[in-house]
Amino acid sequence: PTTMGRAAAAAAAAAAVRAPNVQSSFAVLFAAGAISAAIGDMMATRRRPKASRFANLRFIALETAALWFIYGVLEALMRHQGWAAAPNLAAKQVVSFICIMLTAIPGGRFWWAPASNPEAASTIEDRVHGYSRGGELVACNFLAYQVFDTIVSFHIKELRSPLMIAHHVVSGTLALWMSVSRRPFCQYYCIFFGGVCEISSIFYCIISYSYAVAGLSPAQIRDSGHAMATGSGYHAQGILLCKVLFLMSFFWIRVFLFIRHSRDFWTDAKALVRDPKSKYYDRFRACVFMAVNLLLIALQLYWGWALLLAAKKTALGE
């Protein structure tokens, strides 16, 4: 009995060592989110002259390097301090949270507060080819996010999903056209599609972070339809609240508003394509954007259906 008691005590001690420090890990996430939200708001309110293409490329390169530096530091810190059972996935989610704040906060401000966006478009030419300080800022931040996400998807084995990698590459290519193109293209619409749409991702990132802290693999999460609960007490209730908010914000922003503003974009893009004065290159870009927009609509509907199935599993306790 004494030997068994010692073995049980040793097992309990080992489990305590391996158990992630949930409070510390979430303190890191929310601190990073608060700081990046403040920076995003400052970017949105600061007046600056129109930047050159080289300046935008330099900004994107520096931001991408900073994201990788933050990822490396957080991954090592979480592994050493035992803040997460899957430190690489947790560090990635913290960086994603930072990027989401840097796009969602300015995007929401520019889209819903016209005073913050003095270049608000009123004509087709303005919406398609007009310069937008808000659209340019969102596009630069969004492109840095997609570059980081693409590379880290190859770096972390669990994230090597062909569908998501293709999504990052295509989205990054469109953001590249919007941010460093010789002639601005659809910067006005980038405020919504690259900024406002990320608002729903805030809650999804918190959910994914909780899974990474608990050490659940993406395969386990997919098999459960995201119905798994992590932690207990207030932690589990908070994650459940995030799931509800994510479901509501996803269907409001990424389904209803996404389709609504896609219709507006298609109206402007078709007018550009049919205009005999339009250049061939502009028509080509418009056709590419319309084709990708259709694919993204299909993807939002696919994800929406998957969310409904996950909500059903959660409600039924499956």
List Cβ neighbours of 275 (8 Å cut-off, separation of 6 or more).
none
pLDDT over 90 at 233, yes or no: no
Q: Do 191 and 253 form a contact (C-beta atoms < 8 A)? A: no
Separation of alpha carbons 231 and 79, rounded Å: 19
Contact criterion met (CB below 8 Å) for 33 and 205? no
Quick one: pLDDT at residue 48? 65
Confirm if 254 and 193 have CB atoms less than 8 A apart: no
Query: What pLDDT score was predicted for residue 41?
Result: 85
Which of 6-15, 136-145, 239-248 bottoms out in mean pLDDT, i.e. has the lowest?
6-15
Judged by average pLDDT, the poorest of 40-54, 101-115, 233-247, 255-269 is 40-54
pLDDT band for 12, please (50, 70, 90 cuts): very low
pLDDT confidence tier of residue 91, bands split at 50, 70 and 90: very high
For 240-266, write each residue's pLDDT tens digit. 899 899 999 999 999 999 999 999 999
d(CA 198, CA 295): 18
Question: What tokens appear for 247 in the block?
Answer: 């479901």
What confidence category does residue 317 fall into, taking pLDDT thresholds of 50, 70 and 90?
low
φ, ψ for residue 227, nearest 5 deg: -90, -5
Weakest-pLDDT range from 105-119, 148-162, 224-238, 282-296: 224-238
Could you tell me the two tokens for 187? Answer: 């910067």
CB 182 within 8 Å of CB 53: yes
- At a CB cut-off of 8 Å and minimum separation 6, what does 28 contact? 74, 78, 83, 94
Query: What is the C-alpha to C-alpha distance for residues 105 and 108, in angstroms, rounded to an integer?
Result: 5
